[in-house]
Amino acid sequence: MTPHISAQKNQIAKIVLMPGDPLRAKKIAETYLENPKLVSQVRNMLFYTGNYKGIEITVAGSGMGCPSIGIYSYELFKFYDVDYIIRIGSAGSYSENINVYDIYNVKEAFGESDFAKICAGVDSRILSSGKDLFEKIEEIAQKNEIKTFTGIAHSSDVFYRLENSVEFAKKNNLDVVEMESYALFATAIATNKQAACLLTISDSFITKEVTTAEERQNNFMKMVELALATAIEL
């Protein structure tokens, strides 16, 4: 047990899929896992462990933002001996070529804080995903004829920005925006583990398309299935 996770050590799998929304974690677990068991619900951040095609997997909410996922991912890596975390979340598109419901596999995350310096001793605004895990996702996507986009994600600390978001993205060569991958990659570096981030585009800064919360909860399953297909081959 840790201050933020009440599960016993043997109740958390070596592979964790991590959506931001705890209710999305619940839906994923109940849809895909055999005999899913609720193993932690501190602060209503729901963690479920079950089996998928014979492989034990935990699906756990992370909350929003780098501080939140930073706490959960560090505790999972450090105190629960988790080897792999795949964030499965939503993102906004800065690109006219990346549209709503497209899947984005984050190769690098651009952060806006000193999180990586403080957590992992890495003084850089850009962090890479786990190379082996990133490449495995791409391999599985190709095998299953799932198109993915990849590049640099903006891991923003501010949802309501003063500066124009698209102009900021152009200056920094950013494709999409979300709020967690930078901290997840930092905690993986700090603990010598593997992390990746899969995103489904929920809205576009270019076309102004926007999905509802219900659509995000129910219609992002292709990304989830890609993460699960990757998990069983790790």
Is 157 among the catalytic positions?
A: no
**Marked catalytic residue, from 81, 83, 123, 203:** 203
HEC-encoded secondary structure of the chain: CCCCCCCCHHHCCCEEEECCCHHHHHHHHHHHCEEEEEEECHHHCCEEEEEECCEEEEEECCCCCHHHHHHHHHHHHHHCCCCEEEEEEEEEECCCCCCCCCEEEEEEEEECCCHHHHHHCCCCCEEECCHHHHHHHHHHHHHCCCCEEEEEEEECCCCCCCCCHHHHHHHHCCCEEECCHHHHHHHHHHHCCEEEEEEEEEEECCCCCECCHHHHHHCCHHHHHHHHHHHCCC
- In one-letter notation, the amino acid at residue 107 is K
Is residue 112 exposed (0-12), middle (13-18) or buried (19+ Cβ within 10 Å)?
Answer: middle
Give residue 146's Cα distance to chain centre. 18
**Active site residue ranges:** 203
